[in-house]
Amino acid sequence: DGGITQSPKYLFRKEGQNVTLSCEQNLNHDAMYWYRQDPGQGLRLIYYSQIVNDFQKGDIAEGYSVSREKKESFPLTVTSAQKNPTAFYLCASSIQGAGEKLFFGSGTQLSVL
């Protein structure tokens, strides 16, 4: 099955710890995105990438980092600098850009211990 796989489904972070969320797609899409969703709110863009080895900050990039070493993978690291990391994180992809149909993964719920 083609799609986007996010792991883990649930993740817990201790104070001062960095954690990495995985996102893998087998859709052969060039563009990949990370969104954050807080309860009762819409999605906010953290980072996006349109091509391997290149990525841009979204609206709320502070405290996060990404890499795009392979076309199919776009991991997100939540660093200790992100003081309010508890949220639902969604990875998405599209063929080339944001003006196209977006495909989403099933999400990772991050909580602070």
Partner 1 sequence: KQEVTQIPAALSVPEGENLVLNCSFTDSAIYNLQWFRQDPGKGLTSLLLIQSSQREQTSGRLNASLDKSSGRSTLYIAASQPGDSATYLCAVSSRGAQKLVFGQGTRLTINP
* Residue numbers at the binding site for partner 1 (CB under 8 A): 4, 6, 31, 33, 40-45, 48, 50, 56, 58-59, 88, 90, 92, 97-107, 109
CB of 75 to partner 1, least distance (A): 17
50 near 98, Cβ under 8 Å?
Answer: no
Tell the smallest beta-carbon distance from residue 57 to partner 1 (Å). Answer: 11
Tokens of 41: 């709110």
Looking at the Cβ atoms of 43 and 112, the one nearer to partner 1 is: 43
| For the chain, the helix, strand and coil percentages under 3-state DSSP, each to the nearest 5 | 0, 50, 50
Cβ at position 107, least distance to partner 1 in Å: 5
Structure tokens at 76: 């997100």
Quote the least distance from Cβ 15 to partner 1, whole Å. 26
What CA–CA distance (Å, rounded) separates 19 from 4? 20
Which C-beta is closer to partner 1: that of 30 or that of 80? 30
Beta-carbon contacts of residue 1 (< 8 Å; ≥ 6 apart): none
Which CB sits closer to partner 1, 11 or 43?
Answer: 43
